[in-house]
Amino acid sequence: MPTEIKAAPFDREERYIVLKLKRLPKDEVEYLRDCHPKAMVECVVVENDWPEYHLVWAMLEHRMAGKPVPNFNDWRRADELQQRLTAADERIDELTAPAGYCLMPTSLTAENGAKALLMGEFSVSQQHVCPECATTGEAPDDDCDICEGLGSYTQHTPISWDTMKEIYSKVVGSLAKTPNTPQ
């Protein structure tokens, strides 16, 4: 009966201290070289924000487990997809508005549908005494074309598109939050 040999889980050991020359003062580089000549090893360093970082760990894990790395290109593709997912997650965080806020356009335009939505929607109402009936000194005329016998009439002046845009841009300019800005 064949015995199944299970590989021990791969442990990432702390075996090296890696210092980036560019970030060390020049005299310390020389000092460290002189102090620890026996600790110097020749190696390739893959930094953790390089695209190869996870791939290299995966390659080592596979080698230690006695398995061949299936396909380098598959790993690289998986890694790229993972990075795109992470970027998409970050984008979602950016797009999530804080409580009491929602996503709105930065300005009112015809293109974003605001013009069709708002044109003629709001007006200012003003009451006027009927100029025809007020001068007669008698009761308002029921047949009056202007007031229809009421003695006064209401004039509705639509809020202009330019005014709406000005109000909106003032609100956005003063109250909008920049995504992910600490509050």
Q: Shortest distance, CB of residue 132 to Zn ion, whole angstroms?
A: 4
Of the pair 71, 152, the CB lying nearest Zn ion is at 152
Site residues for Zn ion, 107-146, by CB under 5 A, read: 130, 132-133, 140, 144, 146
Of the pair 119, 144, the CB lying nearest Zn ion is at 144
Of the pair 93, 148, the CB lying nearest Zn ion is at 148
Of the pair 135, 157, the CB lying nearest Zn ion is at 135
Q: Shortest distance, CB of residue 150 to Zn ion, whole angstroms?
A: 7
Sequence-distant (≥ 6) Cβ neighbours of residue 51 within 8 angstroms: 76, 79, 80, 83
Contacts with Zn ion by CB under 5 A: the residue count is 7
Task: Convert residues 6-45 into a mask of x (bound to Zn ion by CB under 5 A) and - (unbound).
Answer: ----------------------------------------
- For residue 148 the two structure tokens come to 């229809």
Of the pair 110, 129, the CB lying nearest Zn ion is at 129
Determine the Cα–Cα distance for residues 26 and 44; give it in Å rounded to an integer.
Answer: 22
Residues in the chain: 183
Decide: is 147 part of the binding site for Zn ion (CB under 5 A): yes
- The helix/strand/coil state of 123 is strand
Q: Shortest distance, CB of residue 126 to Zn ion, whole angstroms?
A: 16
Q: Which long-range contacts (CB under 8 A, 24 or more apart) does 35-43 make?
A: 41/16, 43/16
Query: Angle 53-64/72-95 helices, nearest 10 degrees?
Result: 130
Determine the Cα–Cα distance for residues 47 and 27; give it in Å rounded to an integer.
Answer: 24
Of the pair 109, 126, the CB lying nearest Zn ion is at 126
Determine the Cα–Cα distance for residues 78 and 118; give it in Å rounded to an integer.
Answer: 48
Q: Shortest distance, CB of residue 138 to Zn ion, whole angstroms?
A: 11
Q: 96: buried, middle or exposed (CB in 10 Å: 19+, 13-18, 0-12)?
A: exposed
* Binding stretches for Zn ion (CB under 5 A): 130, 132-133, 140, 144, 146-147
